[in-house]
Structure 1
Amino acid sequence: MKRVLVAVVLTAGALSTAGCTGDQDAGGGPPASVASLPPPPVTATPSVSNLNDTRLPLDRYTTTVDQFIDLDYASKMVAADCMKRFGITYKFGRQNLDALRDRTNRLGLMDEAEAKQNGYHGDPEDVAQYTQTDSAHTNLTDDQALVLLGTRPGLQAPEGVPAGGCIGEGHSKVQWNLEEDSWLEDQTNEAATRTFADERALTVIARWSACMKESGYRYDTPDDANNDQRWWKDDSVVASGPEIKTAVADVRCKKKVNYLDQMTSILTAYQQQIVENNAERLETAHRNTQNALKNAATVLSGR
């Protein structure tokens, strides 16, 4: 899969059309910016065989796949009742997001078996989940979508439609703060971005590049190898022989230079810096998510 982000965070903004939630209090005051802070110290370099087995500092606060599915489904149940008031049958189901549970390759391709099978293209079924649209929304007519989503620029919802549409009513009932989830996504992506720009990470990447050169490949960074235009002339085409050989060499060089250990330790330091500088807001977000999950459970138990 062509990589444009080094981290993927599960948020409603990424996987579900959000209603208006501006009236919900994010809590904890404005976020503290860590962009101007000096690089944090790396206190330890743990042995990491797979990122799935590592708990990162922001994991406590971000929405898990199972939590997202419950919050999304409960919100849609409320929205469906709302849509009935307007004579609309809103059909929906639980989203299949199993691929998002796996973060083996979040810091770059690390799975040699996958490299041998799919090169940089990834498993087709997993890629489809990353790029899916929500059929519960796309199966609606324009007028029905206006009831679901509410008034938008240039489009006036029918009289009686709640603020943010019926899906907004669902989010409000569950008290799912989508703006808060979006902010958490920003923090996780900021930590990842700063990690890859860190001098310590650049040193690791330079060692990887030297290893690749010894293997006959000239790339400055893993992203350069992943995003080589030869692999992406047609996204529907399966990985070629040269792509697979490059991907395998990439993974082996990462292992040789302890890429995952080093990058995970740096990422952990940046996430911890964010936690320390936004402790109050993060704890508020955590409490709000737990409260929303309780509300979602109440909605789900009623059906």
Structure 2
Amino acid sequence: MFPTTAHPRAALVTALAVLATGCAASAAPRTDGTARPVAPTAEVRSLVLPFDTYELSHQESFEVAEARDLLIRACMRKRGHDWQVIDYPAHVDDLKNRRRYGVIEKAVAGKFGYHANAEVLSAGTEITELRKKRDESLGSAGIRAAYDEKNGCGYRANDHLERDGALADYDRFNRLSSDLLKKTKKHPEAVEALNRWETCMRRRGFDYRTPDEAVSDARWWSRASAPASDEEIATASADVRCKQRARLVGVLFRVESALQRQAVADDRAYFSRLAEAKARHLEHARQVIARH
């Protein structure tokens, strides 16, 4: 999904619309204010994991967001406040695993280094800015009407969309997703590929044991809002080249896919509940949209 707002009220967005965990880093984008999305590679488009079917796609998360906006608007009007319904994109690619294995695209590394987050890569920054401006226009009374934790219109909207079994335990899902990614990196095939990556990086003059260590280098995070330095871009670009030479992404994807398929097979009842909750959540959202 795309990030909602830049403050704690982002928690109001349904838990079904969370991304699978596992990105190498979560950071503010380093841009010059003119960032444009970078077209995904064929490899990125192919990274569809078994768990993905149990989450909302990016497009589906926009449907839920639109329905939620419509419900909040109706509630806010009754309380004497305006609420803007954002014009969400009619189509957006579902690339939730684009950063799951770190930076893997030459164009992204060359433009942003390690600081290209989901918003920048998807042009989701526009949605975030619209939501921020909407909040700023509400005033203190409007903020309370929308976001009060006991009776806010946002919570009422969530309750409506999540009724009748449309809410599931996605905390468990995210923990499992994260745990399986960690397990993936310890698999013998992955360890071998990671060793190839390390050797490749050392030949290029970089002293990192893993891609996670490279992206976590404190030098990249000392000035989070500044454009990526030449050194960061050079490191990220070498990182991508070595991932390609080591065939690392393909190995990680293959191993993790197998682990996720096994997890689904091991607990079909739980994943069936997730699938049903997702379907009901979408049904409720589409009913709201159809009425307006």
TM-score band by shorter chain is 0.7 to 0.9
Task: Determine the structure 2 residue equivalent to 1:77.
Answer: 70
* Alignment of 1:105 onto 2:94: no
151, 154, 159: which one pairs with 1:167? Answer: 154
Whole-angstrom distance in 1 between the partners of 2:231 and 2:284: 52
Task: Determine the structure 2 residue equivalent to 1:59.
Answer: 52
What are structure 2's unaligned runs of at least 5 residues? 16-40
Whole-angstrom distance in 2 between the partners of 1:286 and 1:12: 23
Q: Which has the higher helix share?
A: 2
Distance change >3 Å, CA 204–CA 230, structure 1 → 2: same
Residue deviations 1:65-111 (CA, integer Å, cap 9, x gap): 11111112102211221122222222231456958736333211111
Whole-angstrom distance in 1 between the partners of 2:83 and 2:244: 49
What's the secondary structure of 1:217's corresponding residue? coil
Task: Determine the structure 1 residue equivalent to 2:80.
Answer: 87
Task: Determine the structure 2 residue equivalent to 1:187.
Answer: 176
Matches within 5 A, 1:247-258: 247-258=236-247
Distance change >3 Å, CA 216–CA 246, structure 1 → 2: same
Give the length in aligned residue pairs: 258
Residue deviations 1:196-255 (CA, integer Å, cap 9, x gap): 344542332122111111121110111222222222221222222222222222111111
> Residue 114 of structure 2 contacts residue 232 of structure 2 at CA under 8 Å; is this kept in 1?
yes
Task: Determine the structure 2 residue equivalent to 1:126.
Answer: 121
* Alignment of 1:240 onto 2:237: no
Q: Identity of aligned pairs, percent?
A: 22
Distance change >3 Å, CA 54–CA 232, structure 1 → 2: closer
Whole-angstrom distance in 1 between the partners of 2:279 and 2:231: 48
Quote how far apart the aligned CAs of 1:179 are: 5.1
* Alignment of 1:145 onto 2:143: yes
Task: Determine the structure 1 residue equivalent to 2:212.
Answer: 223
> Residue 204 of structure 2 contacts residue 238 of structure 2 at CA under 8 Å; is this kept in 1?
yes
> Residue 3 of structure 2 contacts residue 128 of structure 2 at CA under 8 Å; is this kept in 1?
no
Give the RMSD, CA atoms, in angstroms.
3.4
> Residue 105 of structure 1 contacts residue 111 of structure 1 at CA under 8 Å; is this kept in 2?
no
Whole-angstrom distance in 2 between the partners of 1:183 and 1:94: 32
284, 289, 292: which one pairs with 1:300? Answer: 289
* Alignment of 1:279 onto 2:268: yes
Distance change >3 Å, CA 100–CA 140, structure 1 → 2: farther
What's the secondary structure of 1:63's corresponding residue? coil
User: Aligned partner of 2:72: which letter?
Assistant: A
Q: TM-score, normalised by structure 2?
A: 0.74
Quote how far apart the aligned CAs of 1:127 are: 8.3
Q: TM-score, normalised by structure 1?
A: 0.72
- Structure whose alpha-carbon radius of gyration is higher: 1
What are structure 1's unaligned runs of at least 5 residues? 1-8, 22-47, 153-160
Residue deviations 1:1-42 (CA, integer Å, cap 9, x gap): xxxxxxxx6798999432899xxxxxxxxxxxxxxxxxxxxx
What's the secondary structure of 2:249's corresponding residue? helix
105, 114, 122: which one pairs with 2:108? Answer: 114
User: Aligned partner of 1:126: which letter?
Assistant: L
> Residue 10 of structure 1 contacts residue 64 of structure 1 at CA under 8 Å; is this kept in 2?
no
